[in-house]
Chains A and B, each alone.
Chain A
Amino acid sequence: MTLHSFDPWPWFVTGPVISIVMVTLLLIGKRFGLSSNLRTLCSVAGAGKFAEYFRFDWRSQTWNLVFVAGTIAGGAIAKGLMLKPEGVALNPETANALKAMGIEDAGTAYAPSLLFGADAWNHPLSLLLLVVGGVLVGFGTRWANGCTSGHAISGLSSLQWPSLIAVVGFFTGGLFVSSFILPTLLPLL
Chain B
Amino acid sequence: MIVRLFLIGLIFGITLTMGEVISWFRIQEMFRFDSFHMYGVIGGAVFGGVLFNLAARRFNWVALQGKPLDIYNYEFGWKRYLLGGTVFGMGWALTGACPGPLFISIGAGFYPILLAIMGALLGTFLYGMAQRHLPH
Could you say which of A34, A74, A171 contacts B107, with CB atoms under 8 Å apart?
A: A74
Count of A residues near B, CB < 8 Å?
131
| Contact of A15 with B44 in the complex, beta carbons under 8 Å | yes
| Contact of B9 with A74 in the complex, beta carbons under 8 Å | yes
A134: nearest chain-B partner, CB-CB: B119
Give Cα distance in the complex from A9 to B11, angstroms. 13
| Contact of A69 with B6 in the complex, beta carbons under 8 Å | yes
Annotate A38-79 by CB proximity to B: 1 below 8 A, 0 otherwise: 110110010100111110000000010011111111111111
Chain B interface mostly helix, strand, loop or mixed?
A: helix
Tell me the minimal C-beta distance from A18 to chain B in angstroms. Answer: 4
Tell me the minimal C-beta distance from A105 to chain B in angstroms. Answer: 9
Size band of the B side of the interface? Answer: 35 or more
Give Cα distance in the complex from A65 to B100, angstroms. 11
Tell me the minimal C-beta distance from B12 to chain A in angstroms. Answer: 5
| Contact of A130 with B113 in the complex, beta carbons under 8 Å | yes
Chain A interface mostly helix, strand, loop or mixed?
A: helix
| Contact of B88 with A169 in the complex, beta carbons under 8 Å | yes
Annotate A99-135 by CB proximity to B: 1 below 8 A, 0 otherwise: 0000000110111100111001100001101111111
Tell me the minimal C-beta distance from B11 to chain A in angstroms. Answer: 6
With A53-B127, A136-B90 as contacts: A157 and B46 at CB distance below 8 Å: yes
B109: nearest chain-A partner, CB-CB: A79
Contact residues in A for B41 (Cβ distance below 8 Å): 11, 14-15, 18
| Contact of B90 with A111 in the complex, beta carbons under 8 Å | no
| Contact of A74 with B10 in the complex, beta carbons under 8 Å | yes
Give Cα distance in the complex from A64 to B74, angstroms. 19
With A17-B15, A51-B129, A78-B17 as contacts: A140 and B89 at CB distance below 8 Å: yes
| Contact of B100 with A148 in the complex, beta carbons under 8 Å | yes
Could you say which of A63, A87, A158, A176 contacts B49, with CB atoms under 8 Å apart?
A: A158
| Contact of A142 with B70 in the complex, beta carbons under 8 Å | no
| Contact of B99 with A178 in the complex, beta carbons under 8 Å | no
With A134-B91, A140-B89, A177-B89 as contacts: A47 and B128 at CB distance below 8 Å: yes
Give Cα distance in the complex from A177 to B15, angstroms. 27
Top 4 A-B residue pairs of the complex, sorted by shortest distance between their CB atoms: A15-B44, A74-B13, A169-B85, A70-B9
Apart from A71-B12, A111-B96, list 7 A-B contacts with CB within 8 A: A18-B45, A82-B14, A88-B23, A137-B120, A153-B49, A154-B72, A156-B46
